[in-house]
Structure 1
Amino acid sequence: MPLNKLTTSIVLAAILALGACNDKAADNPAPKSEAAKDAAGDATIASGLADATKFAAAAKQAGLDATLAGPGPYTVLVPIDAGFDKLPAGALDTLMKEDARAELTGVLTYHILPGAILATDIDKAIQAGGGKALLPTMAGGTLTASKEGNAIIISDSAGTKARVVSGDEKKSNGVIHRVDAVLMPS
């Protein structure tokens, strides 16, 4: 299969996986909160990204902006712009190129969890898990949640840690938690 067809197939598969979020949510062991679903207003996750300019631009480049404006529910761990600045020099520019769209989609969907999950839900899962909770992502990977003091820390498989700097931004199609680093799939 030529590279362009392979890339297109991967991107379409990721978008279809996000579109099937409601189906996967029933099978997902991650905690979900009815309060998160019920407390949202009319604004979608996509409309709540205005101040996260780098994540919003990346979502648009990957074609996920329409998905994040869709029905959900999703929980999105949105790296703040300073979190993107922690990436190696040129990494974001490389991901934003058209020929890297599949890789960019993989990175972004690694920050998306199926269902609406509040910080209290993550806290409860960490306590129930003896200090750690596994959070399946829409990219097919798993993140690990833990606590450092009162802060929720989300780690990727390489050990990169992202601190939740603000959480529980309830939207009509899910929840946004702001994190201070970009997590990378393995």
Structure 2
Amino acid sequence: MTRSKLTLVLAMGLCAASACSKNETSDTAAKGAAAVKEAGNTTIAAGLNQKGEFYTLAKAAGLDATLAGPGPYTVFVPEDAAFAKLPAGTVDSWSKPEARTDLTRTLTYHILPGTVLADDIGKAIDSANGKAELATMGGQVLTATKEDGKIVISDAAGGKAVITKADETRANGVVHETNAVLMPSTAT
């Protein structure tokens, strides 16, 4: 799905709930496109901390090439400290070849198709009466809400990640830093 299609889908959902005009739908799509254009040539992969946990794991899963590709993507990148909060041995086990499927499922759970800015998520939350669902590249759903004025992303098990730094635009999408790792459902 292209950035404009996803942005348009989000915008249409917002418009349906708030009865906005076609101009507002176009404005939302244009805003996402303008943010990506401002980012220059730096891709999501190139803009990530190359020694950080998320990039290291993305490289182990083979997703570094995807995040360097045309996209566009929206990526919720957990801070390095978030990985330390996982049960002991989790990150080490993901580094093993036999765990690549689990690692890939977890990382793609942090990726949305298209460019979805924090403002888009906030508007979707507001128009959906406080709770918006976000479809991930991994085929699962994240739930976005607001708590104390901050956007909170919840995973399948009810774990929560707060967006701590939003709208880091790149040539192929946008990155939102979070304070927790989101865990997908283990059901296939």
Range class of TM-score, shorter chain: 0.7 to 0.9
Identity of aligned residues (%): 55
CA shift for structure 1 position 146: 0.4
Gap change, CA 1:25 and 1:113, over 3 Å in 2:
farther
Question: Which residue of the partner structure matches residue 111 of structure 2?
Answer: 112
Q: Secondary structure at the residue paired with 1:37? A: helix
Check the 8 A contact 2:6/2:113 in 1, yes or no: no
Deviation per CA, 1:79-119: give whole Å up to 9, x if none: 00011111000011111111111110000000000000111
Structure-2 separation of matches of 1:30 and 1:154: 16
Q: Which runs of 4+ in 1 moved over 6 A?
A: none
Would you say how many aligned residue pairs link Structure 1 and Structure 2?
A: 165
2:71 aligned with 1:72: yes
Check the 8 A contact 2:167/2:174 in 1, yes or no: yes
Q: CA RMSD in A?
A: 1.8
Q: Secondary structure at the residue paired with 1:66? A: helix
Question: Which residue of the partner structure matches residue 26 of structure 1?
Answer: 5
Question: Which residue of the partner structure matches residue 35 of structure 1?
Answer: 34
Question: Which residue of the partner structure matches residue 150 of structure 1?
Answer: 149
Gap change, CA 1:52 and 1:141, over 3 Å in 2:
farther
Question: Which residue of the partner structure matches residue 91 of structure 2?
Answer: 92
Normalising by the residue count of structure 2, what TM-score does the alignment of the two structures yield? 0.82
Question: Which residue of the partner structure matches residue 55 of structure 1?
Answer: 54
Question: Which residue of the partner structure matches residue 120 of structure 2?
Answer: 121
Structure 1 unaligned spans of 5+: 1-20
Check the 8 A contact 1:52/1:78 in 2, yes or no: no
CA shift for structure 1 position 148: 0.6
Structure 2 unaligned spans of 5+: 12-28
